[in-house]
Amino acid sequence: MNSPRLIAYYLPQYHPIPENDAWWGNGFTEWTNVAKAKPLFRGHYQPHIPADLGFYDLRVPEVREAQATLAREAGIEGFCYWHYWFGGKRLLERPFDEVLASGKPDFPFCLAWANASWTGIWYGAGERILQEQTYPGMEDHRAHFEALLPAFQDPRYIRVDGKPLFLIFQPMDLSADVIAFWQRLALSAGLPGIHFTGIVNNIKEAQTARQNGFKACTISRTSGRGTRLSWDRELVRHLLGNKRALEAYQKLFHKPFHVYDSRKALPYINIQPPEGMDFYPCVLPGWDNTPRAGLNGQVFLNSSPEIFREHLEEAWARVADYPPEHQIIILKSWNEWAEGNYLEPDQRFGTAFLDALKEFTQTENKDRFGI
């Protein structure tokens, strides 16, 4: 490997599906929230408007090709498509199914199972269960594995030591028996196994995942208890204009406004996993999920390509001593526009984040090989 393995999460919610039509109105996609977003305070950058690719529809093959071209040129190894399976029911599967069936784009990929129930929490309807995750039993796990086997066998699939890389959003939901069952199914299908990677919140979850058979873990800076940033009272007071406005906000919503300064942010939440387990840093270009969550969201101000580049270098230092195939850095994300973490060009920065990524990968090649 000439540089770290950069793998970017990829959200497929950019085409309508019947379920979203029923829940949120006809034609709903991620762009619905992106386009209606408003600034919530002075200096708040909203809405985020796409540039080069526009408000695309992922049912269009040319869009997927253009995304892969941009990612490849920036040094990204592949996309990690979010995958949804609920006791045999799949959601948002069309873009990836078409990638798999067509062989295009010819760009590496892996899958991340978003195995949480779908609720309305990020859309102002926190008590609403949209699609429940039930785990009906081993036969369902068998059916799930068989549905994914064509992807695992595809030559484009990203592997670690020959094993398909498969991420799990809530690894605590899967017992050691379930992981062992999937591994037996993989061996029976002629695979050398599966490189299970859990998205954890803390070291305790990493330890449990390791005991259950996971070989690696990663963690997101914005994931609940993993957030180690304190609320910046003076920053919020400045943004809302004055002390009276701040106090009125707190009285109304009974909690502080979650605004942080990206210049003070950790490059990634770091944990030391148990022996025999990899840790893959997760680096964000930015974060602002107020298009989904409104005043319940979190905002990281002052995100920039320069800060992103610095965080990439720190993440690379974290994995540089791993064997080459294990030198993985997770990018969150390629296209999660309603959470403000995306690498695709927008009308504020253009291609600057992709340019920073390209410069980073090219610099690492030169530094390591003297080219």
Per-residue model confidence as pLDDT tens digits over 97-115: 999 999 999 999 999 999 9
Tell me, what DSSP letter sits at residue 338?
Answer: G
Half-sphere exposure of 56 (CA within 13 A, CB side): 24
What is the C-alpha R_g of the chain? Answer: 20
Q: Are strands 125-131 and 118-120 parallel, antiparallel or unpaired?
A: antiparallel
Phi first, then psi: give them for residue 179, nearest 5 degrees.
-65, -40
Question: Strands 163-168, 195-199: parallel, antiparallel or unpaired by DSSP?
Answer: parallel
The dihedral region occupied by 208, where left means phi > 0, alpha psi between -120 and 50, and beta the remainder, is alpha
Q: Does domain 5-227+265-369 have CATH number 1.10.760.10?
A: no
pTM over 0.75? The answer is yes
Where is pLDDT greater, at 3 or 369?
Answer: 3
pLDDT at 171: 98
CB 213 within 8 A of CB 163: no
Q: Where are the domains of the chain?
A: 5-227+265-369, 230-258
Q: How confident is the model at residue 330 (pLDDT cuts 50, 70, 90)?
A: very high
Which residue is associated with the tokens 């068989």? 146
Closest CA to 168 of 126, 125, 213: 213
pLDDT the model gives residue 371: 40
Separation CA 7–CA 107 (nearest Å): 11
Is 132 buried (19+), middle (13-18) or exposed (0-12) by CB count in 10 A? exposed
